[in-house]
Amino acid sequence: MSPQDAGHETLSNLLHEERQFDPPTDLAASANVTRATYEQAAADFEGFWAEQAKRLSWGTEPTQTLDWSGAPFAKWYADGTLNAAYNALDRHVEAGNGDRVAFFFEGEPGDTREITYAQLTDEVRQAANALLELGVKTGDRVAIYLPMIPEAVVAMLACARIGAPHTVVFGGFSADALASRITDCGVEVVITADGGYRRGSPAALKPAVDEALKSCPDVRNVLVIRRTGQETAMTEGRDLWWHEYVGKQSTEHTPETFPAEHPLYIMYTSGSTGKPKGILHTTGGYLVGTAYTHWASFDLKPETDVFWTAADIGWVTGHSYLVYAPLVNGATSIMYEGTPDTPHKGRWWEIIEKYRVTILYCAPTAIRTFMKWGSDIPDGFDLSSLRVLGSVGEPINPEAYVWYRHFIGGDETPVIDTWWQTETGMHMIAPMPGVTAGKPGAAMTPVPGVAVEVVDMDGNPVGNGEGGYLVVTKPWPAMLRTIWGDDQRYVDTYWSRYDGMYFAGDGAKKDEDGDIWLLGRVDDVMNVSGHRMSTTEIESALVSHPKVAEAAVVGAADETTGQAIVAFVILRADAGDGGPDVVKELRDHVAKEISPIAKPRQIMVVEELPKTRSGKIMRRLLRDIAENRELGDVTTLTDSSVMNLIKENLAGQP
Ligand code: WTA
């Protein structure tokens, strides 16, 4: 994008959104976070984070909070020592909460498991003993390539317990992606499964590991969990069945404590171009930051809430808010293996009704899918247990926000739009459910203890009503420490654009009240005839039309206007084929909602959109289509046939 203030002209457009929802009175009355929390954090930044460190059980209590002397390489709680797995498990058992359910697991085929803290602790101890017997030492990396099954949590915590950083590779990734991650961080042991269930049938996983390992000679052992029971080739001397090898281990294991800055895990970010970045998170600060934000943003009451992060363990959302923070906080969580429409489109709502889920955390793309399927589906279930709804991963369109709040939240639950990244580890910008009057589409304000700014290209804060680049102006406990094996890339990517500020790569704007609206990645901001427009803004306008279920907008190179707006839309089921004039109708609608200059040059009606396995729309591929180019790399798509479908589909359109 051209380096000017992102989204400046768009501000007034998105902000004709005037709806605002006060926190529910009863929630506010007993909320974890109050206005005073913001004041405390602002008055004494380090004191605030020193206080939050008390959420953890330390071997040696830290006396130091932040060491920024080697900026941008941070140390948090550097003289403290702790064990992550002990914090997630044993201490709850020792405190008499061993019988509390840690996870209600719902397998896709309908099998269920109720796993208490005591049981999970035993399983993790066994797995830790198994890893030790396999010669895994403190500091060694272990790759985890699994479906969404409880053993994924066991594997992660077993690694953490012995100080072996894990790198979880999403089970939907290819053998190549797995191999490149194994090689990049020098993995010697892999934990996988025979397969997992996907849309009603078993899908093999182990063959991808076998394929990957052809180019990874350093991997000594593979532990294989039996999930589907499908026939699985085992390599003599290398592969071991988890149930045999881990099952025979002792449930006794005394956790060692490690320095707070000991590496906890490496998570590769998909990165739209170039080599994936291995984001390194360390132990003490990460656990403090995630445990605090989980408690704060969702108003978590661990004794009574049933919390559900509907994200895969293979992503940072799964790491922070499905595994580490909920367990450190002693919460009860749902873990669901499958897709939302298996065996029927009400599966999520059935799970919420069954377990009386109180907090749901998911991505806008899921919400828009549910909108497309129609509100009569959730209407058929009792969702009255829900009290807080969360959103993550992309800007939530006002329409999706309002639909979520209305049809899922019964018009009462706050919608907590959480802005953060793999790199930040923890929520950074989010309304607080008991304090903030939420605006549909806005992430609102930094969480207490976090300092962000929206700046112009020179790094000066923009005023209210203006747009620019999002930066973080103070270190935060769960921040990435570096890119694995590439300190220079860490400095270049995040800390070189502006002096002393973390460059997030997102465009944002402040409204008249100073509240923050995210505009998407800065590279998704378009410049059409000198007018700055965000893809998100036009997508929101399209989705606000009653015939549209989902929309993706890209800027395509255009000789006259620099960039031109090209939109791909999926119509709602009840809109039929939309009628002959649907494209005109939608263009006019965008003109009306935003401005005639925002009218897409082209609108293409499609059946599906290309998405990565984490649910992000691959705009790059849509841009290829919009610019009539050969398609780029499609290997990270959930379903690469989608692109053929779109192309076929468009062959008949003007
Ligand atoms: C985007 C996912 C708007 C943003 C936790 C960020 C969001 C990138 C939001 C990180 C949100 C995430 N509103 N945009 N609430 N949350 N993003 O690393 O562009 O998979 O930079 O982390 O997602 O994606 P990642």
Buried b (16+ CB within 10 A) or exposed e, 129-167: bbbbebebeeebbbbbbbbbbbbbbbbbbbbbbbbbbbb
For residue 270, the one-letter residue type is: S
User: Beta strand 531-534 with 525-528: parallel, antiparallel or unpaired?
Assistant: antiparallel
Q: Do the Cβ atoms of 171 and 196 come closer than 8 Å?
A: yes
The predicted structure's pLDDT at residue 649:
60
The predicted structure's pLDDT at residue 3:
29
Ligand 1 within 6 A of 393 CB? Answer: yes
Q: How many of the other CB atoms lie within 10 Å of CB of 248?
A: 11
- Asked if this assembly's ipTM is beyond 0.85, the reply is yes
DSSP code of 509? Answer: E
Please name the residue whose Cα sits nearest to atom 11 of ligand 1.
Answer: 419
- Reading the block at residue 20, the tokens are 């605002």
The predicted structure's pLDDT at residue 175:
86
User: Beta strand 516-521 with 502-510: parallel, antiparallel or unpaired?
Assistant: antiparallel
Please name the residue whose Cα sits nearest to atom 10 of ligand 1.
Answer: 421
User: For residues 200 and 197, what is the distance between their CA atoms, to the nearest angstrom?
Assistant: 6
Taking the model in full, what pTM does it have? 0.85
* SS3 per residue for 357-414: CCEEEECHHHHHHHHHHCCHHHHCCCCCCCCEEEEECCCCCHHHHHHHHHHHCCCCCC
Identify the CA nearest to 95 among candidates 114, 118, 115, 123. 118
Q: Do the Cβ atoms of 260 and 76 come closer than 8 Å?
A: yes
In testing the pocket of ligand 1, which one of 266, 421, 445 has its CB within 8 Å of the most ligand atoms?
421
The predicted structure's pLDDT at residue 653:
52
Average pLDDT of adjacent 10-residue blocks, the chain of 654 residues: 35 63 97 98 98 98 98 98 98 98 97 98 98 98 97 98 96 84 96 94 95 97 98 98 97 98 91 70 98 98 98 94 98 96 96 98 90 95 98 88 97 97 97 97 97 95 94 98 96 94 93 92 68 77 93 85 87 85 93 82 88 78 82 59 67 52
Ligand 1 within 6 A of 478 CB? Answer: no
In testing the pocket of ligand 1, which one of 280, 367, 444, 518 has its CB within 8 Å of the most ligand atoms?
518
Q: Do the Cβ atoms of 21 and 437 come closer than 8 Å?
A: yes
Q: Do the Cβ atoms of 144 and 154 come closer than 8 Å?
A: no
641-645, long-range: CB < 8 A, 24+ apart? 642/608, 642/609, 642/610, 642/611, 643/610, 645/606, 645/607, 645/608
> What is the 74 CA–ligand 1 centroid distance (Å)?
22
User: Beta strand 415-418 with 452-455: parallel, antiparallel or unpaired?
Assistant: unpaired
User: For residues 77 and 322, what is the distance between their CA atoms, to the nearest angstrom?
Assistant: 24
CA 516 to chain centre: 19
Is 281 annotated to bind a ligand? Reply is: no
Ligand 1 within 6 A of 506 CB? Answer: yes
Q: Do the Cβ atoms of 479 and 422 come closer than 8 Å?
A: no
Ligand 1 within 6 A of 422 CB? Answer: yes
Please name the residue whose Cα sits nearest to atom 25 of ligand 1.
Answer: 421
Is 68 annotated to bind a ligand? Reply is: no
Ligand 1 within 6 A of 518 CB? Answer: yes
Where do the DSSP E strands lie in 149-303? 166-168, 189-193, 195-198, 201-204, 221-225, 239-241, 258-259, 263-269, 277-282
For residue 447, the one-letter residue type is: V
Ligand 1 within 6 A of 321 CB? Answer: no
Q: How far is CA 112 from CA 280, 336, 354, in A?
A: 33, 9, 12
Identify the CA nearest to 123 among candidates 97, 161, 96. 161
CA 190 to chain centre: 23
> What is the 312 CA–ligand 1 centroid distance (Å)?
15
DSSP code of 93? Answer: I
> What is the 427 CA–ligand 1 centroid distance (Å)?
10
The predicted structure's pLDDT at residue 632:
62
For residue 127, the one-letter residue type is: A
Q: Do the Cβ atoms of 366 and 377 come closer than 8 Å?
A: no
Please, where are the H alpha helices in 507-640? Answer: 535-543, 582-593, 619-626
For residue 23, the one-letter residue type is: P
DSSP code of 234? Answer: -
Atom number of ligand 1 nearest to Cα 614: 20
Containing H/E element for 209? Answer: helix 206-213
* Half-sphere exposure of residue 432: CA atoms within 13 angstroms, side-chain side: 21
The predicted structure's pLDDT at residue 10:
43
Backbone angles phi, psi at 192, to 5 degrees: -145, -170
